């Protein structure tokens, strides 16, 4: 793999990871109408903490998946552009 190809893959990964992180962080503390439905034996504070912890875990997973998808897209775009330029 050439260095310019690594840069394209890394740029795609960073861009997609940033977008995934930003999208999941914006709704981290958001409460919808359905979020008040909790088991009756759990205190509201404990439930809120559990929901935020779960959302943080999902944020990390979505960011990692976004980085992998971004790396694949960056590599694919670079390969397509590079093959078109090589024909000239």
* Chain length of the chain: 88
CA separation for the pair 63, 61 (Å, rounded): 5
- What's this model's pTM, rounded to 2 decimal places? 0.77
Which residue's entry shows tokens 């992998």? 68
Q: What is the pLDDT of residue 25?
A: 84
Does position 4 have pLDDT exceeding 70, yes or no? yes
Average pLDDT of 9-33? 86
Q: What is the pLDDT of residues 28-63, one digit of tens each?
A: 777 665 666 778 888 888 888 888 898 899 999 999
């Amino acid at each position: 793999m050439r260095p310019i190809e690594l840069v394209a893959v890394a740029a795609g990964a960073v861009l997609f990871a940033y977008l995934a992180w930003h999208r999941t962080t914006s709704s981290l503390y958001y409460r919808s109408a359905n979020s008040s439905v909790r088991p009756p034996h759990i205190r509201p504070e404990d439930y809120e903490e559990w929901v935020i912890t779960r959302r943080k875990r999902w944020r990390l997973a979505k960011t990692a998946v976004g980085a992998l998808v971004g790396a694949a897209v960056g590599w694919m775009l670079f390969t397509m552009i590079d093959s078109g330029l090589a024909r000239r």
